[in-house]
Structure 1
Amino acid sequence: MISSARRSNYRVTLAVLSVGVASFALVQSLTIPVLPRIQDELGTDPTTVTWVVTAYLVSASIFTPVAGRLGDAIGKERVLVAALAALSVGCVVAALAPNIGVMIAARVVQGVGGGVIPLSFGIIRDEFPEPKIAGAISFTSALLGAGGGLGTVVAGPLVNTFGYAWLFWLPAIVTGVAAVAAWLLVPESPVRTPGRIPLLPTLLFAGWLTALLIGISEGSREGWGSALVVGLVVAAVVVFAGWVVVEQRATVPFIDLRMMRLPAVWTANLVAFLVGVGMYASFAFTPRLLQTDVDVAGYGFGATVTEAGLLMLPASAGTFVMGLVSAQLARIRGAKPVVVIGCVVAAVGLAAIGLVHEQPWQTAVASGLFGLGLGAVFASLASLVVAAVPPEQTGVASGMNANIRTIGGAVGSAVMATIVTGHLGRGGEPHESAYTAGFLFLGAALLVAALVALAIPSMSSRELEDALEAEPEPEHVLAD
């Protein structure tokens, strides 16, 4: 049992966790609008510079559940400090990078910071008073969603005023301070999963995930039928199958697949995947739509990076505001209805961006609508996942949920790129109808997420824990 004295510091703990989560979310999206500037500064080509995003995506996808699993096993506070320190060091290296190779390596190190997401949720569940858990998770989730959108807003002014290196100096300073604060102020959580981290299941997990994400990322550039893409996807499928077999037989699994089969867990993960499809692609392609020169393509506003960011500011504001009130809404109506309604509202916002963009204010309103829906989903979905598993599996479960959302983002961005770049018109710009079709696709993904959310069972955490314990034990014939 955690003493009341330790729990009395939960507000300080929340402040530290909030800084870490917000910093990671900013680093995740800051580089996307200014890739051409990074390309020019480092003297590389358009294909190579995209690895600034791909390397980070792959690294974060791997280390998010790995850090969650490590935190569950050896202590969440110490792994949180390590994740924040890695994010800070990676940002320093990126700010000083003399060439694209060093920049890509730095982005891989930054991806380790993805562990702050599951570790923060786990610490909140372990350390906070019971009545404060849902609100704290909602607030942290709101920061995660709002920070991702805010990165596209501040990137332009930051680069224009201080230079592109400050895309990394600023989060390096903030996360460095957060790492020290976490070390000094965040108490070590007593909830642990006994046993060591299994090497073989972890390596197989990293293998299939890396092959899948690189294959998806390269699909829109190399062609979906290219030997490289097909080979990577086939390799991902084969390694994934091997990983499932090993996990089921391992004495100490990396991911408890019995837990992943629980109705409350797999439905929440599928919702997260579909939300990722819409969210990440919209962050990447809305600025492109806004920056299109109307004199060349016949649509768009010819906005600068800064102007496009300002038009997307309502999305970040809506995400944050709705995240703050979602806990109260969930307390009144239940978390599941909030997720369902949030998905529908976000879908309407995405469809509106694609269908109605003759005036800047129309895009701003649609963006705000999307943000409101996204904030409701982010805040309430995280609470559902945390409540669905035993305390000692909070880290790995929430890590996998965030990871699956990232995979959805990779899929959505690749499909969106294929739709948009497959229909080029005047001046080499995509046809306006291509953007319309793309955003309608993203909206449809959110509508499907709403339908899936209806299937999330309304069960208490005790009922879900009993369901996990009732699952048959796997054959313990393969020790790592």
Structure 2
Amino acid sequence: MAHTAHSPDRTPVGRSLAVLGLASLSYALAQTSIAPALPDIATSLRSSTQGVTWAFTGFLVSAAVLTPVIGRLGDMFGRRRMLVVALTLFAVGGAMAAPADSLGLVVAGRVVMGAGGGILPLCFGIIRDIVPEERRAGALGLVSAVVGVGGGIGLLMGGLLVDHASYRWIFWTGTVLALLSAVAVYTLLPRSVNHTPGRVDLPGTVLLAVGISAPLIAISRADEWGWSSGPALGLIAAGPVVLVLLVLVERRTAEPLIDMGVLGRGPVLMTNLASLLVGFGQFGVFLLVPQLIQAPTATGYGFGGDATLAGLVMLPGSLTMLAAGPLSGLLSARLGGRTSLALGSLITGTGLLLLAAHHDSQHAVLGFTTLAFTGVGMSFVAMPNLIVDAVEPTRTGEATGINVLVRAVGASLGTQVIAGVLAGGSGATGAQPTAHAYTLSFGIAAAGALIAAAVALVIPRPRNGHRTPGRQKETGPPGHTEDAPSTPRPAPGKDSRSPSPAD
């Protein structure tokens, strides 16, 4: 009997999870390892601190746009196949950025690396295919915890490479790890067999890219143009207008990039809103703490440390995510995913508020950063579980891809807003932000996380019954829910349940 996506007992689950964890780690390291290197990149490439932030933001914007595209392609052509493609593009982007001698080329490489954003929804979809339902929450939690821990390890790795080699090795390391992951995925994962024939929505992709990029460009240039200038206000206003147009176009598209019917379901919509705010708040830790640690002591608030010290300060927090992940999964199973997400967001917001009030000693920064990271780890595990519970299996890649997209958009907005606050709060010399700018930035990030906690509390449960308060019970064909048909959208003249010849 041929293997199918719904015969998980025939799948080597442990080996597959190890491979998916390695692939997710590649993406997680790239998200944050560049943060300690930003001052060094700015000096080496003779760029401003805010300008070099686009090496960070360009990756997040690209990931936001490409994530649903790659997730959709995974549903169409096989998730294993597209996971290999995403990892290969990720490696190519790193190889572009590593030897680059201009900021533009570094940003271009990071944009190509943004294809790695598709890694997470593909991994979540593969887990949905191969892991029995009773083990699925733990498997999703494991991969999500790897992403959180990898983000913290990335900060330490970036610091060590900057101080003892060169920031270029950050990109080379990512390239090598991505290539190793691609080989492991191709050789060790089972082939995908449940495909949904269709096509990629190019108009929707373009509108999404413009709608996300326009306000980010305005925010990044606002201090130079002026917040009340025509170009800044025009681009900020253009973003929401284009995104509204995207919604109207997608509703009239036979095979949309973003299925507004799925996106509009209460549990999916509210989880995504909370994810946007979580993403906004979480990168306050990733971006602010390394810069604070490396600021000169002459500023009156900095610790004069190197990039390695910045990574070491973040390391305990990243390790707490290993404990926070299983705890979040347990809470989700007993009390529901929204409880876990709300508690994680509350803990993150509390840590950020304490950092805003007390960042005058290394011990305080270490403790409060660890607290914030604990909440981030819990949130990372809760979000994909909430989405997977709310959609049918054939929509897993698409729905989790949108969730990763929304989180990346929040992170991009948070990064640029905080970079703008720091740039606007620079002292008379313009070299370093003021202490107040850091306090305000931590406070803004905290507000995002605390609002996320409030939103999480009102996430409705899927109307399809539960075996336990936080888990979905299949009541019909695999993936069936009461508010959506179990049969996926077919392409004209095709059977959407028939597998493609080979993956």
Q: Normalization by structure 2: what TM-score? A: 0.87
Change (3 A) 1:363 1:386: same
Structure 1 residues 282 and 204: alpha-carbon distance in aligned structure 2, compared to 1, 3 A threshold: same
Instruction: For 1:305-384, list aligned pairs within 5 A.
Output: 305-384=307-386
Match of 2:484 in 1: 468
Contact 1:213–1:407 (CA<8 Å) still a contact in 2? no
1:200-223 Cα offsets, whole Å, 9 max, x none, are 223322332232333333335543
Aligned length: 471
Are residues 335 and 159 of structure 1, via their aligned partners in 2, closer, same or farther at CA, if it must alter by over 3 Å? Answer: same
Shift in Å at residue 365 of structure 1? Answer: 0.8
The aligned counterpart of 2:147 is 144
Matched, 1:257 2:273: no
Counterpart in the other structure of 1:293 = 296
Give the superposition deviation at 1:308. 1.8
1:333-353 Cα shifts (integer Å, max 9, x gaps) = 332211111111111111111
Q: Which among 95, 98, 101 is matched to residue 95 of structure 1?
A: 98
One-letter identity of the residue aligned with 1:210? S
Q: 1:49 to 1:240 in 2, by over 3 A?
A: same
Residues 83 and 221 (structure 1), Cα distance of their counterparts in 2 relative to 1, 3 Å cut:
farther
| 1:275-294 matches, cutoff 5 A | 275-294=278-297
Return the match for 2:409 from 399, 402, 407: 407
Equivalent of 1:441, from 423, 444, 447?
444
Whole-angstrom distance in 2 between the partners of 1:377 and 1:89: 31
Structure 2 gap segments, 5+ residues each: 466-471, 493-503
Could you tell me which amino acid in structure 2 is paired with residue 193 of structure 1?
T
Shift of 1:167: 0.4
Deviations along 1:143-170, whole A, 9 cap, x unmatched?
Answer: 1122223222221211222222210111
1:248 to 243, 246, 251: 251
Cα separation, partners in 2 of 1:284 and 1:331, compared to 1, 3 Å = same
1:220-239 pair list within 5 angstroms? 220-239=223-242
1:354-388 deviation per Cα after TM superposition (whole angstroms, max 9, x unaligned): 11223211111111111111111110111111111
Matched, 1:195 2:187: no
Q: Distance in 2 between matches of 1:214 and 1:324?
A: 38
1:206 is matched with which residue?
Answer: 209
Q: How does 1:50-199 map to 2 (within 5 A)?
A: 50-199=53-202
Q: Moved runs in structure 1, 4+ residues, more than 6 A?
A: none
Give, in whole Å, the separation in 1 of the partners of 2:250 and 2:353: 40
Contact kept, 8 Å, 2:68 with 2:257, in 1: the verdict is: no
Moved more, 68-77 or 234-243: 234-243
Q: CA deviation digits over 1:184-238, x for unaligned, max 9?
A: 1212222333322233223322332232333333335543323333232333233
Structure 1: gaps of 5 or more residues: none
Q: 2-side partners of 1:227 and 1:182: how far apart? A: 49
Q: For 1:26-65, what aligned pairs fall within 5 Å after superposition?
A: 26-44=29-47, 46=49, 48-65=51-68
Matched residue, 1:303: 305
Q: Deviations over 1:269-291 (max 9, x none)?
A: 01101111111122111222222
Is the Cα–Cα contact under 8 Å of residues 343 and 447 in structure 1 kept in the other structure?
yes
Q: Are 1:297 and 1:426, in contact at CA under 8 Å, matched by a contact in 2? A: no
- 1:73 and 1:197 in contact (8 A); partners too: no
Cα offset for 1:109? 1.2
Q: Which residue of 1 aligns with 2:276?
A: 273
Answer yes or no: is the 8 Å Cα contact 1:7–1:128 preserved in 2.
no
The change in CA–CA distance for 1:414 and 1:107 in structure 2 (over 3 A counts) is closer
> More helix by proportion, 1 or 2?
1
Question: SS of the residue aligned with 1:430?
Answer: coil
CA distance in 1, matches of 2:295, 2:51: 23
